Structure formats: structure tokens, C-alpha cells
Chain A
Amino acid sequence: MTTYADAPVTNRNATGRSRGRWFAQVGWRHLVGVLAVAFSLFPILFVISAALNPLGTLSSTELLPTGASFENFTNLFQDTPFAHWFLNSLLLAGVASFASIFLSALAAYAFSRMRFTGRRVGLLALLLIQMFPQFLAIVAIFLIFTTVTDLWPAIGFNTPWGLFLLYMGAALGANTWLMKGFFDTLPKELDESATMDGASHAQVFFRIMLPLVAPILAVTGLLAFIGTINEFIIANVFLTEPNSKTLAVGMFGLVAGERNNNFGMFAAGTLLTAIPTVLVFQLLQRYIVSGLTAGAVKG
């Protein structure tokens, strides 16, 4: 904004009319932006004030902090294995989101570019399978992983790898549709001409399609990252050892039950949890905003 400060400055002595024109062209946009930022931030301000308030509670009516102390943050690291949770979540969300977008990109490529029997049925099945409530499947998950834990404890209960495998099960359902839609918007001539030039299907996929869908890979990657960080139902039954928990499970434990003097710590944890997501977003945003529909429009 500072770089554009000259606009209002030059208008300082101008007539109301030109100020009006500035407003009509740019000013209202800032107004919308500021309003939107206010809407975005005020619940977060609330969390910040709870995190800084030593008697932190999520239900006080004060928007601004009544006391400022980092007690809640230090308690979080001293009294709970928060650092473990944080690392577990980062590792799990990082690996799982990467692997899951890769798996679904493969599948989306096949669904978009190839014609085979069972294609449409497969697509429909992918959409429907997500409609089945996960909390009912927990019994079956116990069934599977009891056997897995007995045979291969390294990928059983209380291991990030076991949970990672489980999340991979959901990879196709969650992202394939999204990606297929974007693969569809890429003009077919692109890969056809590459094939003419002698490129194999794998080359088409890795060298032509993937670079073009980079924005959607970034979007789904971000989605998958956030989804994994927030996943609770499965992780809650899967991870019971305090040190193996993820942020969502561990932090829920802080506020579960009747005692609510952990809310300050909970709020502090919430803020810290947002940091990796913001960083991932920063990392990916140039892909996202650099043109989601490059292919579609050019085609």
C-alpha cells in the first residue's frame, strides 16, 4: 500500500470530485479489503487475547486482552508434549499431502486422458465412497489395524506411518475429482502433439501435464495439508500414546472434559498451529495466484 501512497497525496489539495473519482476507482476496493480483513481477523483477535490472558478462557466477552503474558505458551511446552504434537503433525501433514496429491494426480490423469471400461463407474464410485460416514467405519479400522499391529507393529496403532497409510486410503476420494476437472480443461492438442513427437504417456504426464496443473496441485496440496492437520476422528482412536499424537488430538484433549482452565493454552496452541499452514500458503501462493485456469483460457 505504501508504494501507492502518492495517489491520495496528490489528491490532497484537489477538489472533492477528484477524490470521489479516486474512491470510485481504487478507494472502494480498499474499503472492501479492509472490511474483509476485519471480518477475517476479529475472531482471531479473540483467540489472541485468550492466549495472552493468563486466566484465558474462550468465553470471556473481551475482544482485547485483559492481561499480557506468555504464561500460556510456556505452559504449553512445559506441561504438554506440544513440541511432539507439532512435529508429528508437520511430518504427517507434509508427507501425507504430498503423497496424496501425487496419487490422485496419477488417477486424475488416467480419468481425464484415457478411455477405459469402468471409467465413469469408477468416477461415480469415488464421489460416493466419501459419503459414507467415517465414524461408522471406525469399527472396521480397529479390525484391520489390530491385525496390522500384531504383524507389523511399525505401521500399527500409535505410529505415524499407520495413520499415513489410512490417510492414503482417502487420497483418491478427496482430490481426484478436483484434479480431473482441471486436467479436463487442458487442451487435448497439447498432449496429442507431444505424443506425435514421440513422447510416452509417462513423459506427457510428468513433463507436460504436471507443470500445467501446478496451480491446482498447489491448491489441493494446501487443502490436503490443512485437512490432515485438522483431522480428528480417526487420529483420536489411532493415536493414544501422548507423544505420538497430532495437534488436533492433543489440543482437543486440553479442552475435553469439564475443566476449562486450559483454554488459554488451547488458544496459544491454536495460534501456533496456524503458523505452518500460513507458511505453506506463502510457499504455494505464487502458484495459486499465477493463473488457475491458464490452460482453459488459452485453449
Chain B
Amino acid sequence: MRIRTAGVVAVLGLALAASGCGGSDSDKPAAKESAKAAGGKLVIWADDKRTAALKPFAEEFGKENGVTVEVQAVSKDLQTNFVTASQQGSGPDVVVGAHDWIGNMVQNGAIDPVQLGAEQKSGFNETAIKAVTFNGQLYGVPYATENIALIRNTELAPEAPKTIEDLVAAGKKLKAEKKASEILCLQSGQNGDAYHVYPLYTSGGGYLFGTTANGDYDPKDLGVGKPESIAAFQKIAKLGEKGDGALKRSITGENSIATFTGKKCAFLVSGPWAIADAKKANIKYDISPVPGFAGGKEAQPFVGVQAFYVAAKGKNKALAQEFVTNYVTKPELAVALYKAEPRPPALTAAFDQVKGEDPDLAKFSEAGKNGQVLPAIPAMAAIWDPFGKAEAAIIGGADPAKTITAAGKTIAGQIK
């Protein structure tokens, strides 16, 4: 008997499911119809954080112009999903993401170049414009730049270290005095983190790609596996678990900031996104450039740029261009986006406006002054994984020469 009831419920459930399809149908297209009547619809894809930040402004844009704007979040694999969806014609009109996606999105014909007037262009920070330029074309409108820096707890370490050796010495001293349990919080994890270790790699003399005559990165000149990279990793190995113990695989993206805010290490290598946590935990901190090796080259962090792109196969390209080239380029929006998420705005005017109230911003930007623009060429995608794993292995005590040569081979094999 019980089961017969269950059967009836099941059938009803299915019927409801089916009629649900029919039922919701009646209002959905109606809504779509009305949107059409009032104007076009603009769909924006971004990651979760930016979706939240963008939403009010996108809605504002919609209200001003009588169009519908939807900001949607793709939590994981935004770039891959955007490219796949675009290809099939179900992608958005605008996508927001890091500038190093450009190469891949261009080779898949997923984004169009944007045309900024000379005057508009000059309003942006030069590095940001350089970052979104690919094969001589501008592919996105930048809104924020970001780079990592050394954040230190000024109660534990009042002085900014000049070299990484100074830092290690100071960290060791704190550790010996039981004031801290770690020398340095630089995230690596078991599979490494190429982005965070890059300043040390450049300071040790390593490079990723050479540059062609016109200043573009050249995928044919791969620096990983070259003698310079081996030398750099030999220096990094000395900081590793078998050496000073400043770099550890146990420090991961999940715990590095928490360890710093928990006052267990005095030095943190991280970006503007770490500041909110530090403030929340009432840490007294200061920001300085990531120091390099004594007598080594300059430590250059990667400079990344967050940008808006116009999808090549969007349904409403004209509106997308209008939004990206004319709305996103307004300083008011850049300031508001900064308030939602504190990253240095790419528009000089907006940057100057917020600089006064936020000294951290200028410090981060100072730390990124000598930074290298993250390569946007598709070949860069082949670097991350093998490079990170080689880093982790070397920090854990593997032979730098052998490991990095193998990583270089793997990367070279994956670059077309």
C-alpha cells in the first residue's frame, strides 16, 4: 500500500516536472519579449567576486539606457567555458577576466579587438594597455592591475628587508625567539605556485620567454630549462626545506594569509586581496617590494590586469562595445569597482583619486613598478603546471638541474 502511494507520488512528481516545463514556459518567453521591446539584453560573465562587485554598475548601465543587463558568475573554468559556449553560440556578450587569457581567446576567435580613441587610451596606465595588447591589437579594456608585494607585520619586523637574505635572517631570529613559527609565508603547496615564486625566479636570473624585436613575448625562446633558470632554482633550493626552510610546500594558498594574520609569520608574499584579512585581524602591516637575492637581479613580480572583453559571437555586440569602450572607461566606475574590491585601478585618473585615501595602493603599485606583464601568449598556458610542480619538487629537495630541465622539456613539448 505504502509503495502504491509512492508510485502515485512518483508519477505525480514526473507529471509536475513535465507540466512545470510547460508552466514556467508561459512566463519566461514573455519576460524575454518585454526585454526585447524595451531594448537589447547584455549578458556579462565574470567570476564570483567580480560578479558581486559589478552587479550594481551593470544594472545602473541598464537603467540609464533602457536595456537589460545580466551579470552571471561562472565559478570554475570561466575561460574554458566561455570559449566553449561562445563557439556554440550560447556565450555572453562581455566577459571579464585576467589579461593572460587573451592569447587563447584570440586563437579561438572568441573575442574581438576593441577600438579605443587615442584620448581614451592615454587615460590608462601604460602597463595596463601593454598587457591587453596582443599582436598589435587592443583586445580588452583594463580596469585594475594587480601584483604581489611583501607584506610584513611591523610589530614583528619593523624594517623592510632589502634582500631575501635579510628577510631570512630576520625570520630566523623571530623563529628562534618563538615570536613566529615560520620564516616567510610564500605560498607553494604540493604542486607549486609559479605566480608567487616568480619574483625570486627573476631575481635569480631566470626568465620565461624571450622577447621579439617589437617587444612581444616569443614562445620560441623558452627560458625554462636554460642554464639561467637552473641557476635561479639553485638559489631557490637554498631557501627550501632542505636549506633555510623559508620556502615550504606546507604553505599553501589556503593557509598562507591565515598564517600571517594569525601572527605565525612576519612576512607574507601576497597581493591586494590579502589586505582585507590583515585589517580584519588588526595586524599592523606595511607593504614593500618583494626583495631579491643579494647581488642578484631585480625581483620582478608578474603584473596582471583585469579587463573587460567583447565576445566575438555575442548576440549584442554593439551594446557590448558601448558598455566596454564607453562605460567601463569612466573613472567613476573604476573608483566604484575599487571600493568593491581594492585593486589599483588601471585608469590613472581613478588611481589618483583613490590613492589619497588608501596608502596601500601606492605601495602595491610601487612594488609592481618593475614588474613584468604576465605573458598573454597561448604558450603561457603550458608553463603554469610544469613550472609549479618543478618549483615544489625543488623546494622539497629535488635536484634543481634535473628537475627544471625536465620541466623545460615538458613545456617545450606542449608549445605548438
Contacts and interface: CB of A to CB of B under 8 A. Distances in A.
Nearest to B276: A261
Interface string A138-182: 110011011001001111011101001000000000000000000
Interface string A208-219: 001100100100
B294 interface: no
Contact of A253 (B48, B70, B281): B48
A59 B258 contact: yes
Contacts of B357: none
Interface string A47-66: 00000000101111000000
A250 B6 CA distance: 32
B66 interface: no
Interface of B: 1-4, 6-7, 9-10, 13-14, 16-17, 20-22, 24-25, 28-29, 32, 45, 47-49, 51-52, 70-77, 81, 84-85, 87-90, 252-255, 257-259, 261-262, 271, 273, 276-277, 280-281
B28 A206 contact: no
B262 A256 contact: no
Given A256-B75, A260-B254, A161 B20 contact: yes
The interface size bin for chain A is: 35 or more
Given A57-B255, A143-B88, A252 B76 contact: yes
Contacts, number: 137
B28 A154 contact: yes
Contacts of B252: 59
B281 A55 contact: yes
Contact of A154 (B4, B24, B81): B24
A154 B25 contact: yes
A95 interface: yes
B187 to A, nearest CB: 9
B73 A253 contact: yes
Given A98-B10, A102-B10, A210-B3, A240 B45 contact: yes
A250 B131 CA distance: 31
A24 to B, nearest CB: 41
B75 A242 contact: no
A59 B25 contact: no
B21 A240 contact: no
Contacts of B71: 242
Contacts of A102: 10, 13-14
Contact of B2 (A57, A143, A211, A241): A211
Interface in A74-124: 79, 95, 98-99, 102
A101 B216 CA distance: 57
Contact of B76 (A217, A242, A256, A261): A256
Given A214-B2, A253-B73, A142 B258 contact: no
B280 A139 contact: no
15 contacts: A59-B254, A59-B258, A60-B258, A95-B16, A98-B13, A139-B84, A142-B84, A146-B90, A159-B28, A161-B17, A236-B77, A237-B77, A256-B75, A257-B47, A260-B253
Contacts of A261: 257, 276-277, 280
